[in-house]
Amino acid sequence: MNTQRTGHDLLRRMRRNRATPAVRSLVRETALHSEDLIQPLFVRAGDGTPEPVESMPGIVRHTVHTLTEECQRLEQNGIKAIALFPCIDSSKKDPEGSHAHSPENILFAAIRAVKSASPDLAVITDVALDPYTSHGHDGLLDERGDVENDSTVESLKRLAVAQAEAGADIVAPSDMMDGRVKAIRLALDAAGFHRVGILAYAAKYASAYYGPFRDAVKSGDGQSGKPHKLDKRGYQMDPGNVREALLEVQLDEQEGADMVMVKPAGPYLDVIKAVHDVTRLPLAAYQVSGEYAQIHAAAKLGWLDYAATRDESLLAIKRAGADMILTYFASEVAESLK
């Protein structure tokens, strides 16, 4: 008896919904929009042309002037928010990161300039001490060389309030200190900044993918001007843990976070999905510098289709559950979506 299946008894043909671009667009479950994307930008003191970041093709350290021009261009492409990171001259760094609180901190001038030039653009600022410390850690060190939690939180409170005073719409503590979200929320409210939101780096992993970012902000270059390798496993999360991430998110929710983040994004899609399933807060994911650099490197060697891989990587992050994505691809993807 011939039991071979024939085409005549196939009632469900999955390919019918893939037949044409129009049909595929109708049934597509996840789509990427310009409003989903946040562009990280770097700013330095001084004038002149932007400085290229060698390990991140197409990314530069802006001056305040070129930063405002870039923000206006981003707005025209449909980008609604930027994340701003300062690159501080090594001569201004010390073990306490005291320049973070100086009125001469280039970050404050940059925030004011962007809000003046692009008042409708949301400015998200990094609340951490690593751009300002000579040792490159995200906090203050104790006598053993470990990052001291509570004194660091006190410094972060001051920095967050100063960023709000300069005009930041959202402050984003990326330090992974315990209790910092509540402390920052109370400090902002006490200073009258009830409308300034907190995007908590809730699940920030001690990842090997951060190298190019540390190059961009010259983190840990100290007085020598030469970056050195940093071990941040004492405060950033173990890459092997997922349940811990859910607890971190829960704590940040309880402490008053308005949004939470998973960082990195691509290697942690399972964490994004797990967090998405337990929180009702808006969820961000940060496609970090190493993810960006590896796509560029493989494409340069001809091993990957650059645009297709770029877009697929972002779609995967959105599909996993991210409501917004910080990505160095934001500008060019938004332009392509137009």
Spell out the residues 6+ positions from residue 74 whose beta carbon is closer than 8 angstroms to its own: 39, 82, 121, 330, 331, 334
The verdict on whether 204 is a catalytic residue reads: yes
CA–CA distance, 129 with 52 (Å, rounded to integer): 23
Helices (H) and strands (E) in the chain, counts: 11, 12
Please tell me which residue in 115, 204, 218, 232 is annotated as part of the active site. 204
Q: Tell me phi and psi for residue 208, to 5 degrees.
A: -80, -5
Is there a cis peptide before residue 131, judged by omega within 30 degrees of 0? no
- Which H/E stretch holds residue 250? helix 243-254
Q: What token pair was written down for 32?
A: 């990427």
**Does residue 162 sit in helix, strand or coil?**
helix
The verdict on whether 226 is a catalytic residue reads: no
Please tell me which residue in 93, 232, 263, 318 is annotated as part of the active site. 263
Q: Residue 158 half-sphere exposure, CB side, CA atoms within 13 Å? A: 12
Of 139, 142, 169, nearest to 154 by C-alpha is: 139
Q: Are 317 and 266 in contact (CB under 8 A)?
A: yes
Query: Which residues are catalytic, by number?
Result: 204, 263
